[in-house]
Structure 1
């Protein structure tokens, strides 16, 4: 049992001091915070049971705080490593440090500098700030990765990953701007992906319980975006090519189930596409013209080069 000492609440808030057991683990945001909360007794630490705007603070040995806020509370963290539980409709400014922030719905979260882990529900906004962050948000949310090599999970949200070599996973209905860096993007059906500059690796999966080709996603590619790799798994997707790319200056070379797309007079940009399980790709140009790319069915042996899908 972790022992705590408490001071009398002031202005609808409480302050507690955690005397031991404050080490952090690499667990996800919710489970890591739950481990700490479960070791403390006698404190009012459930955001849903606190009054609106009420904030409970627990001082950790490392100088950071465990902070629990009720609905609509405005929480400001320290410049150390904080653990935050926030109720619905609230806001959190994590400040510096490697923070763990677990929020509800309709949240506004700023991670600040540091390698933060942030998870929130629907209709929320996350700004990870600087650092290698792990960010997750529910549907209707906006996720800003900022600088650093971030890991982002989007469930029907808008993602601007920022700079760095990011890993992005998106479910149906997400809009992704990968930004600068060599990013890895895994997406299901019904997404829009702007790969941005850098040598990106993109996997679009339409794998469902049925065997038919499923609808895919839309990938946007502009001049200067670099050398991208795309894998399509039972997906019928569209590759939107920006200004400067035309049907006349685009070359498509097909070998087995792989298509290599290059552009006359442009040695910087190019796209390789692996097709699996009857996938199809439509090249869409800025002038409205299109080109269908439909290699024969592919064996799934190439999947190992893309890792987890």
Structure 2
């Protein structure tokens, strides 16, 4: 029989990572399974965007925030599997059997779903041969602003992400143009106003119709666009192309028919603020969980995670205290606190 875990967390975004930390805090034997090669979830899509809305935390770049979440998640040494897609979960007596796309089986007393919006992949530019430029200057996310310094940039898309990128890049780029297929942008009005003030050129009713390579055939050198209203097209030289057409979403988990979970909008699991779903032993945290009073922010995600883990603890051990002891009084942190303080004292004495 395989190792049996107290809780298996499905999903390695902020909800899953904080759940892994908190379940260790509650003394639970923990496994985390993530379908992608890297931990971090959707925050990985915006590594150079500043996150402002985490209580008591100064603004931090998304990439740095993910590193800190991962470091925190590993505090109590959970088992972490990446690049492992969960296909199916079934229940046998008091255990859940988790089957993956690799043909593996994992056994757990409880499940904590932290799959957010599911496995997401960017909607690609549907032009012949576009994929060959993804290794050079066709981008579906902005990993580093440095690459775009003094560049001629075109962004296809009119949502919040597209306009946010336009605003962020406009101070460092030579020029930023946004093309969008519809009459009006779908981004927040305040963000659009900010883009206009920043000098971003916005062309609605316009789509990219052709990509022309450089002489080496390695990168895009010219982009042809067409206005659907006037039927006029133009070709311009370009350095970088960013495509922000949204994301395809795929649920990463299917369940045995004996596991009936209530859903909202055919995707999100309905439950309680305590992290409980309608099926005993299955809990949820983060975007995947919906309940009255839900806070769809990072601060809400962390509260979801703590509540779900506390519910798991009392589910497995009914006599256990409902809440985890705060870190300032928790014996688990005494040795760690001592080590950190000693390092700070040594550093201060130099």
Q: What TM-score comes out, normalization by structure 1 length?
A: 0.26
Which structure has more relative contact order (CA 8 Å, sep 6+)? It is 2
| Higher share of residues assigned helix | 2
Flag the structure with higher strand content.
1
